[in-house]
Amino acid sequence: MKILFLSAEVAPFVTVGGLSQVMYFLPRALTNKGHDVRIFMPKYASIEDPLSKKRWKLKKEIDKLSVPIENLQTRAKVSAQDSILCNIKSYPKTRTTLKTYFLENREYYELRANMYGYKDDHIRFALLSKGCLEFLLLMEDLLKKKDKQGWLPDVIHCNDWHTGYFIDLARQSKRYSSILSKIPIVFTVHNFVYQGNYDFRYGNHEDPDMGVAPLASLLSPKLQMQNALLRGVLYSDAVNTVSSTHALEVLTSEYGAGLETVLKAVRGKLAGILNGLDTKEFNPETDPIIQQKYSISTFPAARRENKLDLQRLFELEENSSNPLMAISGRLSQQKGWDLLLKVLPHLLATRKDLQLIVLGSGDDRYRDQVLKLQKLYPKQIGLHLRSDFRLPRKLFSGVDIMLMPSMFEPGGIVALEALRYGAVPLVRRTGGLNDIVTDFNAVTKAGNGFSFRDNNPWELFAAIVEALTVYKQQNLWKKLIHNCMSYDFSWKYSATLYEDLYRNVIEGRRRAVSSTPHPAYNPQV
């Protein structure tokens, strides 16, 4: 298949959040399976910055591309005063990159120091969407001329609210639908909370955007009030989020961020596909950060040494028999700290051998309570209350249990990282955590962790007690670690699921375009 990805950020060119990592690994995994994969993104200032150590030398593909300000319904040429001029540059396929097209514009991308956070972000990403659509029109013209540079995808894969404008225009504007009517569009939503450059959950409830009115022009004040995520959901051929469980959760008011009614209406095209893990970067056999490297066959002695290294580092009693737990991430309500702070005092008071490491920055109220708890139990609690990109892997390589009692967790990447290193995850059953972790059964010796379901501190307490009970039986615990490290972490598996999704939407779009409505069909009903 020929696959085009559209995204606001893509590693290694720019990296802000998890989206850029998905846009690095998933396209590569699909390429490794034989597909022709290309990417379209903005050309931010840092990409060709001569002062940057990671300056990318790009090739100019299209000069002075006229992107219309208004939403035209015909293929008519656009005058300079009625358009925003852009260039399109590219970077070739290499060992670490795929063929990537960049939309270049001085005002909206190159003069900005950051990727996000501007009051006109809705214009910037609507411009990205329109620029990509105009690029595809030119690609079709090249194909008609039998030019080898011409290329059109079999499927287009859009990501997050920034690309919802593309989906709306591809389906609603006759200028673009003439060539895109036969091309299906997949829309991956990595976080339903972010729906545009405006908080639609708390905005104007008297006249909310229902996604029906035509999309406003690029420079219209109305554009900011139109929900890009909603429109992407409505007009795409398939919507997916980053885990099967989260695809069900977003149908509820607790997780749907105000879109649950719409998502219920389109649930037939809603799916969940779990992200993979960079198994080369996260590899205990080669990781230079950890004290002792190890494999699935050599972990017992090495993980014991790594545990002692952590105990020394955090000034805890150096005893490999002591159960060592850790929690890594932001100190916030979402990560389950209200539950933890009710449970931990009881556990630490009754189990003097129990140790805990806390890594991460966050809300002051949680930080203050954790500091007070450490003063009460200085020999049992080690703290590093700031962000650190190296320490998590040291934790994964030596702690016995990683605590993840999150209120919600769409993907659950930390659980995958913990499993890779043999740290047993203890999770609340939500989002990706529910899909990743299977409860360990001491009789059958199957499973890779422990869990609890309700947002209740004593369910968390019971799960920890169960884990500590199994920990006492070291032969069982070694089997559990072996199960953890045997989990299939690869993007190859995720790519296979996306292949299936693409084939389904290609067939569905083919049938939709070729089908003839029934004589009794009434589009108004």
pLDDT in tens, the chain (525 residues): 999 999 999 999 998 888 999 999 999 999 999 999 999 999 999 998 877 777 899 999 999 999 999 999 999 898 889 999 999 999 999 998 999 999 999 999 999 989 999 999 999 999 999 999 999 999 999 999 999 999 999 999 999 999 999 999 999 999 999 899 999 999 999 999 999 999 888 776 678 899 999 999 999 999 999 999 999 999 999 999 999 999 999 999 999 999 999 999 999 999 999 999 989 889 999 999 999 999 999 999 999 999 999 999 999 999 999 999 999 999 999 999 999 999 999 999 999 999 999 999 999 999 999 999 999 999 999 999 998 888 999 999 999 999 999 999 999 999 999 999 999 999 999 999 999 999 999 999 999 999 999 999 999 999 999 999 999 999 999 999 999 999 988 899 999 999 999 999 999 999 988 764 444 434 333
Q: Is the dihedral of CA 161, 163, 165, 171 positive or negative?
A: negative
Q: Give me 282's structure tokens.
A: 């996260």
Helix (H, G, I), strand (E, B) or coil at 257: coil
Contacts of 394 (CB under 8 A, 6+ apart): 289, 290, 291, 306, 309, 310, 313
Is 518 within a domain?
Answer: no
Are 398 and 500 contained in the same domain?
A: no
Helix (H, G, I), strand (E, B) or coil at 127: helix
Contacts by 267-271, CB closer than 8 A, 24 or more apart:
269/236, 269/237, 269/238, 269/239, 270/238, 270/239, 270/240, 270/241, 271/238, 271/239, 271/240, 271/241, 271/244, 271/247, 271/501
CB atoms within 10 A of CB 29: 21
Q: What is the dihedral of CA 401, 405, 411, 413, to 10 degrees?
A: -30
Helix (H, G, I), strand (E, B) or coil at 302: helix
Are 168 and 220 contained in the same domain?
A: yes
Are 128 and 153 contained in the same domain?
A: yes
Q: What is the residue whose two structure tokens read 């011409």?
A: 150
CB atoms within 10 A of CB 362: 20
Q: What is the spatial distance between Cα 263 and Cα 247, in angstroms, rounded to a whole number?
A: 9
Are 269 and 321 contained in the same domain?
A: no
- Could you tell me the CA-to-CA distances from 245 to 41, 322, 435 in Å, in that order? 29, 34, 7
Q: Give me 418's structure tokens.
A: 């913990």
Are 381 and 502 contained in the same domain?
A: no
Provide the H-helix boundaries in 87-202.
121-144, 164-172, 174-180
pLDDT given for residue 513 in this prediction: 81
Are 234 and 305 contained in the same domain?
A: no
Q: Give me 239's structure tokens.
A: 């919507």
Are 473 and 502 contained in the same domain?
A: no
CB atoms within 10 A of CB 171: 17
Q: What is the spatial distance between Cα 331 and Cα 352, in angstroms, rounded to a whole number?
A: 24
What's 226's domain CATH number? 3.40.50.2000
Expressed as residue numbers, the domain containing 196 is 2-276+495-511
Q: What is the CA radius of gyration of the chain?
A: 25
Is 76 within a domain?
Answer: yes
pLDDT given for residue 520 in this prediction: 41
Is 383 within a domain?
Answer: yes
Is 490 within a domain?
Answer: no
pLDDT given for residue 439 in this prediction: 98
Is 286 within a domain?
Answer: no
Q: What is the spatial distance between Cα 307 and Cα 313, in angstroms, rounded to a whole number?
A: 10
Going by C-alpha positions, the residue among 93, 90, 38 that lies closest to residue 65 is 90
- Could you tell me the CA-to-CA distances from 188 to 192, 243, 270, 510 in Å, in that order? 10, 11, 10, 21
**290-292-295 Cα angle (round to 5):** 100
Is 472 within a domain?
Answer: yes
**Number of independent structural domains in the chain:** 2
Question: Model pTM?
Answer: 0.90
Are 102 and 226 contained in the same domain?
A: yes
Q: What is the dihedral of CA 282, 283, 288, 290, to 10 degrees?
A: 90
Tell me whether the omega of the peptide bond preceding residue 12 falls within 30 degrees of 0, making it cis.
Answer: yes
CB atoms within 10 A of CB 259: 22
Are 50 and 155 contained in the same domain?
A: yes
Are 451 and 499 contained in the same domain?
A: no
Contact 241, 272 (CB under 8 A): yes
Q: Give me 437's structure tokens.
A: 């972790």
Contacts of 145 (CB under 8 A, 6+ apart): none
Is 62 within a domain?
Answer: yes
For β-strands 83-91 and 59-68, DSSP reports them as antiparallel
Are 404 and 269 contained in the same domain?
A: no
Q: What is the spatial distance between Cα 145 and Cα 475, in angstroms, rounded to a whole number?
A: 69
Are 348 and 424 contained in the same domain?
A: yes
pLDDT given for residue 525 in this prediction: 33
- Could you tell me the CA-to-CA distances from 254 to 263, 332, 336 in Å, in that order? 13, 17, 15
Is 439 within a domain?
Answer: yes
Q: What is the residue whose two structure tokens read 């720019």?
A: 14
Q: Give me 450's structure tokens.
A: 């422990």
